[in-house]
Amino acid sequence: MIFPTKIGTDSEGYIVNNISVNKISEQYIEPLDFIVKNLKSIFESKLHSIYIYGSVGRGNAIVGKSDVDLSIIVGNSVTNNERELLELGKEELLKKYSYIPKVDYDIGVLNEVTHSKNLYFWGFWLKHCCSCLYGEDMAERFPKMKPSKNIAINMNRKIESELQNYKRRIETEEDCDKLNLLVKSALKRIIRGTYMLTIESDMSWSDNLSDNVEIFQHYYPREDRIRRVRELLEATSVNKEEVLDAIEYFKFWVVAELDKLKGLPSVATSE
């Protein structure tokens, strides 16, 4: 690699969105139609828009291995009853389409999504990491952005609690398949979270985990634990003790590095 890599950016340095509904493979069309209908029945007029992200939206999903990842924007807060209906809908989907191991919903409330404080969180996410499946495309409301510490800080703002939650669930999960999914999600979160610390210096945005590790190691050569995280992610069996140790270490390490980033000036990041 030549550094800065500038991976995932255009000639002007803006991040390229490689997610598109047009890239969704045929196997996922029917399940996504099922999901949209289910969400419309649950939220009715409260549902504002639905977005695909991740491997399904990139067109490189692996049938039987890849999750379906969606962001959902609603008009007001989700009720407990609606959350129960969401879980029931997920269960029905996974039974009907057994080649999908997991479905994840990230839910945002419209006035929070559009608030200026969330420009580098929801604004960035919808503009550069999602593609609209249903409703008004919120991406059109936000400017193009360049890799920046503002994105790194905002996209990692809940990483400590997220990793702590993974740790708690991994410690108590007894089902092997569910444990494997939790471990992979946690390790991916570590790799992506650490890589984000480098994006302004590297002028890049990559969703490739191998690239993430290589780029991170270039800018943080002493943090070679990240290579072990990658090895654990690729392992055929779960080493729970090592996984939990990695989560505990990076949970605090990333937060400490984010605090350092907050004290540094940032480059111009949007058009």
Alpha-carbon distance of 53 to 57, in angstroms, equals 5
Q: CA Rg, the chain, in Å?
A: 19
Alpha-carbon distance of 153 to 148, in angstroms, equals 9
The answer to whether domain 1-145 has CATH 3.30.460.10 is yes
Give the bridge partners for 74, in sequence order.
47, 109
Q: What is the pLDDT of residue 163?
A: 98
Q: Tell me: pLDDT of 270 over 80.
A: no
- Contacts within 8 Å (CB) and 24+ apart, 218-223: 218/1, 218/3, 220/194, 223/194, 223/253
Mean pLDDT of 79-107: 97
Q: Which residue has the tokens 């997220």?
A: 162
Per-domain residue ranges of the chain: 1-145, 155-271
Mean pLDDT of 59-76: 97
Q: Tell me: pLDDT of 268 over 90.
A: no
Alpha-carbon distance of 41 to 60, in angstroms, equals 29
Residue 114 DSSP symbol: T
Q: ∠ CA(46), CA(116), CA(141), 5° rounding?
A: 65
- 147-178 tens-digit pLDDT: 999 999 999 999 999 999 999 999 999 999 99
Q: What is the pLDDT of residue 94?
A: 97
pLDDT grade for 265, boundaries at 50, 70 and 90: confident
Alpha-carbon distance of 149 to 219, in angstroms, equals 14
Q: Which residue has the tokens 């985990």?
A: 209
Q: What is the pLDDT of residue 264?
A: 74
pLDDT grade for 267, boundaries at 50, 70 and 90: low
pLDDT grade for 263, boundaries at 50, 70 and 90: confident
Alpha-carbon distance of 171 to 217, in angstroms, equals 29
| Dihedral pair phi/psi, residue 48, rounded to 5° | -95, -55
Q: How many CB atoms within 10 Å of residue 77?
A: 10
